[in-house]
Amino acid sequence: MGIFHLQRFPPYNPGRGAMLYYPNSTTKANARGWGSSVKPKIKSKTNGIDDAMHNEQNHGPRTTNAKGSVVLGGNAAGSLAPDGNGNSNSISSVISRDQYNLPDFQTKYNHAFFFVIKSYSEDDVHKSIKYNVWASTPNGNKRLDSAYQDAQQKIAEKGNSCPVFLFFSVNASGQFCGVAEMIGRVDFNKTMDFWQQDKWNGCFPVKWHIIKDVPNPQLRHIILENNENKPVTNSRDTQEVKLPQGIDILNIFKNYVTKTSILDDFDYYESRQKVMQEKRPRPLIPHFDHKQPQTNELITGFQSMDISATKNMPAVAFGAVEIKPYAADANAT
């Protein structure tokens, strides 16, 4: 008779919210969603992609590029194998950190909209920075699109700027990772195929201004009266932040000094994206033999032939089978 060992439960971590936190669990708080119920994710193969690549990654290894720049995959499907010097030899373009976290980034606005964006995966944040695009849930897309239209109307009426800022946080990461600006309406008919999951429809353009890791304790004192007086760190996807609190968050992002960001892990996420693209099932393309066009022309020729002209044609024998001329059935209608 075998002996079964009972596994001990990990201790309760109050910093993770009102539920037991399991470091290796795939159950996560709501992200890009509206419902209060949380459905656990079952580790399995999805669309032919193995678990190692498809599982949501809430934080990368933060490996710093020695050259102080971020490698951006201009050829994401290419090989990322390092060369003899340890450099990735297939990346065709590089983005510099200098275009983010600018010291003259404006944080004072009379009119602006602010929203918290919750992502299931840091892989998707990597793609948002790489392609300057984002997608939310159907309800989230509608809410953000409505806010963008309201902002454009305020610009037309007031003559002043009215940006729509997005505060990004990856679910269960314990931090915020950047600030982007929504710079266009949602295209509900356009869907990107590079997200970690294939359920995000529609997309809209964004411009990233700040990319840095800001731990939740730096923002936990920001209370949202429009969300039951909860801290901004307890927000769901597309939770609106009012103007005073939004300005405060902008200043925290701008002034917080950190040594890490997702930019440190671009090579890491480029590799993950490459593997996922290679393992996604490709649509089947019908294969036609090179002799097929000749066969089709032959069939077309027979179909266009005048049947009455075959009455006087001699029989032609192919092997042991004799093919006789067509004779119309006298009883046919």
pLDDT over 70 (residue 4): no
pLDDT over 50 (residue 273): yes
State the pLDDT confidence band at 282, using cuts at 50, 70 and 90.
Answer: low
- Does CATH number 3.10.590.10 belong to domain 96-279? yes
What's the confidence (pLDDT) of residue 237?
A: 97
Distances in Å between the alpha carbon of 164 and those of 113, 157, 229? 5, 16, 22
pLDDT over 50 (residue 80): no
Mean pLDDT score, 4-30: 41
- CA 176 distance to own-chain centroid: 18
pTM of the model: 0.64
Pick the closest to residue 176 from 254, 263, 253, 266 (CA basis).
253
pLDDT over 60 (residue 72): no
What's the confidence (pLDDT) of residue 279?
A: 79
| Burial class of residue 230 (count of CB atoms within 10 Å of its CB; 0-12, 13-18, 19+) | middle
Q: Between 60 and 128, whose confidence is greater?
A: 128
What's the confidence (pLDDT) of residue 148?
A: 98
Among 138-142, 151-155, 197-201, the least confident range: 197-201
Residue pLDDT, tens place only, 153-197: 999 999 999 999 999 999 999 999 999 999 999 999 999 989 988
What's the confidence (pLDDT) of residue 199?
A: 86
Tokens representing 228? 């039951």
Task: Report the side by side order of strands in the sheet with 113-119.
Answer: 133-134, 204-215, 175-182, 164-170, 113-119, 239-241
What's the confidence (pLDDT) of residue 198?
A: 82
Most confident of the ranges 26-35, 59-68, 73-82, 192-201:
192-201
The boundaries of every CATH 3.10.590.10 domain in the chain are 96-279
Tokens representing 283? 């649509």
Tell me what percent of the residues of the chain surpass a pLDDT of 70: 57
What's the confidence (pLDDT) of residue 280?
A: 72
State the pLDDT confidence band at 142, using cuts at 50, 70 and 90.
Answer: very high
State the pLDDT confidence band at 276, using cuts at 50, 70 and 90.
Answer: confident
Alpha carbons 188 and 73: distance in angstroms, whole number: 26
pLDDT over 70 (residue 76): no
Mean pLDDT score, 314-330: 47
pLDDT over 50 (residue 152): yes
Q: Between 259 and 176, whose confidence is greater?
A: 176
| Torsion angle of the four alpha carbons 81, 126, 32, 121, in this order, in degrees rounded to the nearest 10 | 40
Q: Between 167 and 9, whose confidence is greater?
A: 167
- Determine contact, residues 105/209, Cβ cutoff 8 Å: yes
Per the prediction, the chain carries an average pLDDT of: 73
